[in-house]
């Protein structure tokens, strides 16, 4: 099983902490990695951290959850705040993905402008694959509010 998104998120979190948080120290980095690892162990034991097992969306969500917990720990969060950060990191993926898509669009355009237009994969193949993947998904796992947290969380 490849490491997936987890190392990228945790490295990004460490870099953010050490560069932008006044008073950041090695102890905070260690605590961050321990908290992220603990959350990762929960995902590994109770779900998965592998895109091959649960899809790339859940691979990214578990990695985001780990990174959020790690950063909250490094910032001095209470155990409850660290757990809340982990939960928020995985809970509402579509809203965050929509917000981050604008940043990704800028990065994609900038990356393309650095190249000569040579494609690794054609847009047509990407679109076809996206359609096939969507067709393979069960309806309750799509944006239908028929599965996932939409049916497992009761509003207070």
For the ranges 72-81, 97-106, 118-127, the lowest mean pLDDT is seen at 97-106
Residue 147 lies in a domain: yes
Residue 1 lies in a domain: no
Residues 92 and 25 in one domain: yes
Residues 142 and 91 in one domain: no
What is the rounded average pLDDT of the residues 16-40?
Answer: 93
Largest Cα–Cα separation, the chain: 53
pLDDT tens digits along 63-93: 888 898 999 999 999 999 999 998 888 876 6
Residue 35 lies in a domain: yes
Report the pLDDT value the prediction gives residue 1, as an integer from 0 to 100.
Answer: 40
Full DSSP string of 62-112:
HHHHHHHHHHHHHTT--HHHHHHHHHHHHH-HHHHHHHHHHHHHHHHHHHH
Please give the model's pTM, rounded to 2 decimal places: 0.68
Q: Confidence band (pLDDT; 50, 70, 90) for 2?
A: very low
What is the rounded average pLDDT of the residues 51-64?
Answer: 76
Q: Supply the range of the domain harboring residue 59.
A: 6-117
Report H helices in 115-138. Answer: 123-136
């Amino acid at each position: 099983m490849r490491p997936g998104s987890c190392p990228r998120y945790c490295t990004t979190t460490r870099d953010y902490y050490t560069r932008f948080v006044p008073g950041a120290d090695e102890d905070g980095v260690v605590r961050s990695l321990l908290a992220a690892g603990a959350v990762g162990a929960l995902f590994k034991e109770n779900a998965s951290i592998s895109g091959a097992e649960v899809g790339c969306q859940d691979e990214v969500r578990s990695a985001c959850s780990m990174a959020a917990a790690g950063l909250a720990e490094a910032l001095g969060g209470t155990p409850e705040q660290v757990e809340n950060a982990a939960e928020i990191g995985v809970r509402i993926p579509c809203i965050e993905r929509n917000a981050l898509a604008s940043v990704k669009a800028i990065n994609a355009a900038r990356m393309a402008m650095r190249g000569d237009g040579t494609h690794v994969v054609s847009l047509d193949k990407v679109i076809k694959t996206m359609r096939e993947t969507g067709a393979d998904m069960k309806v309750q796992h799509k944006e239908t509010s028929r599965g996932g947290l939409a049916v497992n969380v009761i509003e207070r």
